[in-house]
Structure 1
Amino acid sequence: MSDQQRGTVVGRWGPVALAVVLCGLFFFRALSSSGVFLGGDALRVFLPMRAYWASRVSALEFPDWLPYDGLGQSFPGIFITGTFHPLMWPHLVLPLGLAAKVALLGCFLLALGGTYALVRAWDVPRAGALFAGVTFAFCGYLVCITNNPTYLQAASTLPGVLWLALRFLRQPDLARLTLAGMGLALLAFAGDAQAFVMANALIVCLTALEPHAGPWRRRVTACALLILAGGLLAAPQLLPAAALVSGSEPGARSLGEAQRFSLHPLRLWELVLGPFLADARGTQGIPYVVVTHLVPSGGFGRAWVDSVYLGTPAWVLALAGLAASARQWRAWAFVGLWGVLLALCLGDALPVYGWAYHLIPFWKPFRYPEKLVPLVSLGLAVAAGLGWKRCLGAGGPVRPVVWVGALMALPFAGVALAEGRGQWWSEHWLRARWPDVPGPVLRGLSDNVVATTATAALLAFACAALALLRERPALRGSLLVVLQWGALTWAHEPLYQLSPEELLSTPPAFVEHIRARFPSPEPVRVASSLRETTPPRLPGLNYHDSLHLTLLSALAPDMVAMWGLESANEYLPGVSPRVRQLKADRVQWFTRLAPRLGTRFLAYATSEHAAFAARLSVRSTFTDPLLGLTLVEYADAVPRVLLARPECVAGRDEAARRMLSATLPPPDVALVECTAPLPATPEGPLGPVRVLPGTPEHLTVEVDARAPAVLVVNDAFQPGWRATLDGQDVAILPANVAVRAVAVPAGRHVVELRYRTPGLTAGLIVGAAAWVGLLLACLGTRYVPRRRAAGG
């Protein structure tokens, strides 16, 4: 191999090897231990959903129905379950925690590589592209959203999707259309509907701003084809989700609810300085007391992510590039687009998110403006790469980098000095807004401000100094990449959370108690009244491990799915509006309505015992004094499937009024929203029912009714269910507002209920046709020219 060939190989594969090394070093703590990512919704949603998916698919069954949340809901209809994403497949062969770790760590390589390729497409030098990739891959949002891997998967996929789209827009052909469409579909399959929509919007912006996309007619045609291809390929996810939106109330029901996780204006300083509100040693994130007093999250006691830092060197290069390109209209168009995204992230601090909520028809299912922060992060990473090209590329002016670095370093150093010497920020700004701030919190925040501003000043000054290394561009590039990586590692490596794998594999005490009472595989439904809580101090466990153990032990949704227990609580967005309607009165729900709908157990904080005790009918009580939790078995819980006497009501409102009144109907009476009068059922025993083995989507019940009655199935009334009586189709009627009923005449009968997610069949047909059609067309375009060449 010649020196030139060797240099080409090193230049092409060197950044790849360096990216792998940087990812490995950043996540060395995760790679060198058996700990798993359990923070936030990783434990609440991501891992339980994957455990359920793997259990069903490994049994060669498709998981249409999810029985573990809100009395049941569609599994593929909920975007965040990610039913069709390729990263589901490792869960079939690897342990749950390890498969999740592999998937999550792969996301950071995907984010780095996608950003590198996107920036390289604009002729940014390899070192600058690697710098941009490092900026996005290790930014605060991506590292901290390991507590919600669904959104990490989507965010990490976005740069690669935009790169594929850019290639197609520049040179439209069938192969590039197929690849870009597959990227968009993969983004939809990742589980973030808003990211999919925003990616399409960004493709429209690329179409308008890209200088090499050709004439406007070709631009518009290519953009429309790409969006259409992505939608068709993602149809297996999009059509069930559209059916769910049309028949339910997913996402935000009000603007206030939509904006609960907004980026607080105070946190804008984090973008440049670092996570000055986070406690990297104790709670490993922004503590509860800081969230509630300084950066409130709409009633939540936690932040969506604990850092949004992007690295001070990235800001130096981005601002320097803007200064050097001040006369180019595309630069200011880019800044305007980035500013709109930032304004959306700020949510309730500005009216912009409200405008989107009210004016854009499909926006209402979305919620949490802070979910848009990765778009802001990616924009800054791209701007830093373009700034590198403009100022540090061959013949570029380095003066803007020097000036921006110096101008940023001076005020940061001044703030660090003022706070370190005279507590200028903490005493004059912080105390004015939080007069009774606890002393330890005040000192911790003060130390954070000094550390972050001093570090930012050093980083900005270092960028200015390195820019002067004109004669050593390779050394300068390497040092800048390492400087940015080091800044992000210092700020964010302590913030990702690992917990012992045993928390996933060891059933908590309440689960063992329930299984001792009900050892058969018959489904057992539980409820949990535990809300956001401060975990007790447990020996040998840190704050987050104690919190995870408490949530697991309190039978919070949807974690009970890992133990095969069903939940009367809802956490996922596809819950039936009928179920949600019955929860208007929290105490009424947990003491009277949940057991009426087939719930056998209730877990609550022992401190809440006084609120529940007088209204609970209890068969047995089991306590966990270490965690301060109590488990009670309802004495008045009705069976999940039973025969009942129908009492027809005019509609849902009348049924809700009766169910929410002070006196409930007798347990053997069901309030049925009848489409026609039902035969009267005389007093006396109604007869036995026998539930045959089946799947969540297929319920078979043998009924021996002594008189006309209704078979009540205490699962959510949702579109998609069909029923037969002795093989003949019959209507499913809403009962007790939220559950299902089938009218049965006297005698022995077999009732079957089957579920199919609305929109799924059509989505699979459309998606399969699009995938096969595009692939065959691509093969055809490659095969036909070869035949012509051979014939010639």
Structure 2
Amino acid sequence: MALAGLLCAAFFFRALTSSDVFMAGDTLRDFYPMRHYWASRVSAFEFPDWLPYDGLGQSFPGIFITGMFHPMMWLHLVLPLGTAAKVTLLTCFPLALGGTYALMRAFQVPRAGALFAGVTFAFCGYLVCITNNPKYLQAASTLPVALWLALRYLREPGLGRLTLAGMLLALVAFAGDAQAFVMANACVVGLAALEPLAGPWRRRVGACALLILAGGLLAAPQLLPAAAFTAASEPGARSLGEAQRFSLHPLRLWELLLGPFLADPVGTQGIPNIVVTRLVPSGGFGRVWVDSVYLGAPACVLALAGFAASVRGWRAWVLAGAWMLLLALSLGEALPVYGWVYQLVPFWRPFRYPEKLVPLVSLGLAAAAGLGWKRCLGPGGSPRAVIWTGVLVALPCAALALAEGLGGAWSQHWLRARWPDIPGPALQGLSGNVVTAATVAAALALACAALVLLRERPSLQGALFVALQWGALAWANEPLYQLSPVELLQTPPSFVQRIRERVSPGESVRVASSLREARPPRVPGLSFNDSQRLYLLSSLAPDALALWGLESANEYLPGVSPRVRQLLHTDRTRWFTALAPRLGTRFLVLTALERQAFGERLAARSAVEDPLLGLTLVEYADAAPRIHLARPECVADRAEAARRMLAPTLPPPDVAIVECAEALPRPPPGPLGQVHVAPGPPEHVTVDVEALAPGVLVVNDAFQPGWRATVDGVEAPILHANVAVRAVAVPAGRHVVALHYHTPGLTAGLVVGALAWLGLLAACLARRLAARRPRAA
């Protein structure tokens, strides 16, 4: 473990020697805001059941990706936000390295070969670049340890091993990646089927089923709320097209061997959006899921050599076939395979983004390299397979480098044919990348062949192989992880201060942000990536604005109410100019071009400009109060309510479109009364109502299962209002209306999980105590 820590420290020296923190992608957009929210609630001894900061509100435990039960969350109670996140992320890499090493050692791979496999997985392109999305990094880095413990249990079933293996499977779920949890269980099934030491089939099946059950029960606090939420909402992909966004483009398969030849490691520290849109488009986004999937030429050589040396064994073909299937699934829209799975396997439909399967592809190739080491470089191995494979890999790489360097074979023919108007700097950069990557790959492959000559000195050979692989991964992947100044997290943007000046202290404020994919201007004195982070924060995009205690009318997390999504996506212009203010949104951030496009439809009292970033903050003149009395206009169903809300003219501001089973009394013209909202946590809303006539109390928060309402202590139905929000009927007079939220499935999940954890630990303790008792003579 000391060596693993040293290798990780050397790889991430920039992060360790700087006060800057990881801030790319969803690390900024949802990881920091969700951890900040969790820590603020738990430190106040409150349970965060309801998240008000995204899509008019949604369940916090029910959203799988919040990962609120992962033990690393507790770091945020004792460390600053950026520091806690940095520790969380950096801990993943020694865990991935050590877990892969242990897994390989369980298959009798020599120590050097196991270390080689661990280095390959820990510093592969996916894991390094997914520092932009910590929940998926945590799940991927935990997977090898979970599989190692599962293998030990399958070989020798026992209560202690069952407990440890089940705990690690649960930890994959607690990381916040449902798909990784499902695939981890699928890998357990594969181990049970293929492991020769797992015993007879009856024992294999029983042990495998028991382990999966144990992992599921231990993870019940996360699984049951997510299952209840899934049944009542649309948290995942709603179509095959949406599911296949962020597919791995076939062109990027060359990265597995050559390295990230499409990336700019200096300027953008990744693949520029112009290259994404023209060469590797995915789902209409101007960015990719990860900027590198490089696994290292030495790993590819050893994996291919191991397969060549084991070509007569049926297990080699089964494992190769499984790996190819995972690769085909990760390609998503490029092949029909993902579509077949989406259509034929119902539980697969909530999952999104085929590129999320790349860590399994990476772990599979790392394991294949380790097994190839055992087969070719271990005692009685076939070293010639490494020599031949190294030469066969080096020849086409060298040919590509020469063809491109001397005649522009790739850039002038293949690239220009697909991108005729490619800018000169982009053409030169991509051409240079290919020449460099192909040359390095050829040199690495030949070096692998040459190192076989050191077979009589296995310690030196092993050290050089590991150094070669680590160096290749550091050269290609180390420049691609992104850091930004922690001050960006600590300094509220100028618009936040403007908003605070315009609202009462403690008042909940909701903001809409009309920006699409960020195309930030370059801010003097800041790098491209830092400019992008500043732009995102300044635009008050969801969910980063939760860092400043501001709520969002936009959706970013997958738990948004389908009713909110219906209004938001049916007519984007109407949402920002009419519907968002009607649903309690007071402010809007937009660009100058969008403000011009919205025109007079954007009724605003005032506007504040940010000339540096080209952003405008406007305040809606007609924003409805967050909670107010209204006259009910009853409609039969959601479709009729949507028709009224999406009509050219909205109902009057004091009218709420309510889906009523029975007609509600309509108050006469005139004032409706007053409301006073008592301070309290977001799960408990208490309103003192003084109604001059019967009406409805409208709460402009998302209608979600789990809310209950009482009027003067008597249970009252919660009605759908204005399609997306909640309403409670109130009679004339003074009343107290209380709304309480509890995540469906959470109580059952906590009870089941607690019983499973306590039951397994108690059983282990009882067995240990029984083993210590002296046996009767």
**Please, what TM-score do these two structures have when normalized by structure 2?**
0.99
Task: Provide the aligned length of Structure 1 versus Structure 2.
Answer: 776
Matched, 1:656 2:642: yes
Q: Give the C-alpha shift of residue 395 in structure 1.
A: 2.6
Structure 2 residue corresponding to 1:272, chosen from 257, 268, 273 = 257
Number of the residue aligned with 2:694: 708
Structure 1 residue corresponding to 2:403, chosen from 400, 418, 422 = 418
Q: Give the C-alpha shift of residue 785 in structure 1.
A: 2.7
Matched, 1:491 2:491: no
Deviation string, structure 1 residues 183-228 (Cα, Å, up to 9, x no partner) = 1110000000000001111111111111110000000000000011
For 1:752 and 1:733, locate their aligned partners in 2 and report how far apart those are by CA, in whole Å. Answer: 14
Deviation string, structure 1 residues 675-715 (Cα, Å, up to 9, x no partner) = 22212211111111000011010000000111111000000
Structure 2 residue corresponding to 1:746, chosen from 701, 707, 732 = 732
Deviation string, structure 1 residues 378-418 (Cα, Å, up to 9, x no partner) = 00000000011111112322110111011111111111111
Number of the residue aligned with 2:345: 360
Number of the residue aligned with 2:223: 238
Structure 1 residue corresponding to 2:294, chosen from 301, 309, 316 = 309
For 2:432 and 2:518, locate their aligned partners in 1 and report how far apart those are by CA, in whole Å. Answer: 27
Matched, 1:618 2:566: no
Deviation string, structure 1 residues 348-407 (Cα, Å, up to 9, x no partner) = 111110011011111110010000000000000000000111111123221101110111
Number of the residue aligned with 2:450: 465
Q: Give the C-alpha shift of residue 522 in structure 1.
A: 1.0
Number of the residue aligned with 2:582: 596
Deviation string, structure 1 residues 41-97 (Cα, Å, up to 9, x no partner) = 000000100000000000011100000000000001001000100110100000000
For 1:746 and 1:432, locate their aligned partners in 2 and report how far apart those are by CA, in whole Å. Answer: 73
Q: Give the C-alpha shift of residue 791 in structure 1.
A: 3.3
For 2:612 and 2:81, locate their aligned partners in 1 and report how far apart those are by CA, in whole Å. Answer: 27
Structure 2 residue corresponding to 1:549, chosen from 515, 534, 552 = 534
Number of the residue aligned with 2:571: 585
Task: Look up the SS of the partner of 1:77 in the other structure.
Answer: coil
Number of the residue aligned with 1:3: none
Contact 1:463–1:480 (CA under 8 A) maintained in structure 2: yes
Number of the residue aligned with 2:71: 86
Q: Give the C-alpha shift of residue 432 in structure 1.
A: 1.2
Number of the residue aligned with 1:114: 99
For 2:35 and 2:90, locate their aligned partners in 1 and report how far apart those are by CA, in whole Å. Answer: 17
Number of the residue aligned with 1:184: 169
Amino acid at match of 1:107: C
Give runs of aligned pairs for residues 377-776 of structure 1, distance below 5 A. Answer: 377-583=362-568, 584-776=570-762
For 1:749 and 1:231, locate their aligned partners in 2 and report how far apart those are by CA, in whole Å. Answer: 45
For 1:246 and 1:26, locate their aligned partners in 2 and report how far apart those are by CA, in whole Å. Answer: 43
For 2:381 and 2:3, locate their aligned partners in 1 and report how far apart those are by CA, in whole Å. Answer: 25
For 1:539 and 1:441, locate their aligned partners in 2 and report how far apart those are by CA, in whole Å. Answer: 23
Deviation string, structure 1 residues 747-779 (Cα, Å, up to 9, x no partner) = 111011000000000000111111111111111
For 1:283 and 1:29, locate their aligned partners in 2 and report how far apart those are by CA, in whole Å. Answer: 16
Number of the residue aligned with 1:201: 186
Q: Give the C-alpha shift of residue 534 in structure 1.
A: 1.6
For 2:441 and 2:514, locate their aligned partners in 1 and report how far apart those are by CA, in whole Å. Answer: 44
Number of the residue aligned with 2:118: 133
Q: Give the C-alpha shift of residue 434 in structure 1.
A: 1.2
Q: Give the C-alpha shift of residue 786 in structure 1.
A: 2.3
For 2:663 and 2:218, locate their aligned partners in 1 and report how far apart those are by CA, in whole Å. Answer: 46
Bigger CA drift: 393-402 or 657-666? Answer: 393-402
Task: Look up the SS of the partner of 1:272 in the other structure.
Answer: helix
Q: Give the C-alpha shift of residue 422 in structure 1.
A: 1.1
For 1:605 and 1:194, locate their aligned partners in 2 and report how far apart those are by CA, in whole Å. Answer: 36
Matched, 1:43 2:17: no
For 2:170 and 2:645, locate their aligned partners in 1 and report how far apart those are by CA, in whole Å. Answer: 43
Contact 1:316–1:405 (CA under 8 A) maintained in structure 2: yes
Deviation string, structure 1 residues 422-442 (Cα, Å, up to 9, x no partner) = 111111111111111111110
Amino acid at match of 2:136: Y
For 2:330 and 2:522, locate their aligned partners in 1 and report how far apart those are by CA, in whole Å. Answer: 35
Number of the residue aligned with 1:332: 317
Structure 1 residue corresponding to 2:44, chosen from 54, 59, 69 = 59
Amino acid at match of 2:18: S
Task: Look up the SS of the partner of 1:775 in the other structure.
Answer: helix
Number of the residue aligned with 2:766: 780
Q: Give the C-alpha shift of residue 533 in structure 1.
A: 2.5
Number of the residue aligned with 2:152: 167
Number of the residue aligned with 2:244: 259
Task: Look up the SS of the partner of 2:198 in the other structure.
Answer: coil
For 2:434 and 2:707, locate their aligned partners in 1 and report how far apart those are by CA, in whole Å. Answer: 57
For 1:53 and 1:532, locate their aligned partners in 2 and report how far apart those are by CA, in whole Å. Answer: 27
Q: Give the C-alpha shift of residue 790 in structure 1.
A: 4.2
Number of the residue aligned with 2:266: 281
Deviation string, structure 1 residues 712-746 (Cα, Å, up to 9, x no partner) = 00000000000011111100000000000000111
For 1:753 and 1:412, locate their aligned partners in 2 and report how far apart those are by CA, in whole Å. Answer: 66
Contact 1:416–1:454 (CA under 8 A) maintained in structure 2: yes
For 1:554 and 1:344, locate their aligned partners in 2 and report how far apart those are by CA, in whole Å. Answer: 36
Deviation string, structure 1 residues 278-316 (Cα, Å, up to 9, x no partner) = 000111101111100110011000010000000000011
Number of the residue aligned with 1:6: none
Between the aligned residues of both structures, percent identity stands at: 76
Structure 2 residue corresponding to 1:220, chosen from 201, 205, 208 = 205
Task: Look up the SS of the partner of 2:382 in the other structure.
Answer: coil
Q: Give the C-alpha shift of residue 248 in structure 1.
A: 0.5
For 1:680 and 1:514, locate their aligned partners in 2 and report how far apart those are by CA, in whole Å. Answer: 36
Amino acid at match of 1:487: A
Amino acid at match of 2:235: P
Deviation string, structure 1 residues 492-547 (Cα, Å, up to 9, x no partner) = 11100000000000000110100111141111000000111221111111111101
For 1:93 and 1:516, locate their aligned partners in 2 and report how far apart those are by CA, in whole Å. Answer: 31
For 2:65 and 2:772, locate their aligned partners in 1 and report how far apart those are by CA, in whole Å. Answer: 44
Bigger CA drift: 428-437 or 145-154? Answer: 428-437
For 2:659 and 2:396, locate their aligned partners in 1 and report how far apart those are by CA, in whole Å. Answer: 68
Task: Look up the SS of the partner of 1:749 in the other structure.
Answer: strand
For 1:616 and 1:342, locate their aligned partners in 2 and report how far apart those are by CA, in whole Å. Answer: 48
Contact 1:601–1:634 (CA under 8 A) maintained in structure 2: yes
Contact 1:607–1:628 (CA under 8 A) maintained in structure 2: no
Displacement over 2 Å in runs of 4+ = 789-792
Structure 1 residue corresponding to 2:133, chosen from 148, 173, 177 = 148
Number of the residue aligned with 1:291: 276
For 1:17 and 1:479, locate their aligned partners in 2 and report how far apart those are by CA, in whole Å. Answer: 18
Q: Give the C-alpha shift of residue 576 in structure 1.
A: 0.2
For 1:308 and 1:652, locate their aligned partners in 2 and report how far apart those are by CA, in whole Å. Answer: 45
CA RMSD between the two structures: 0.7
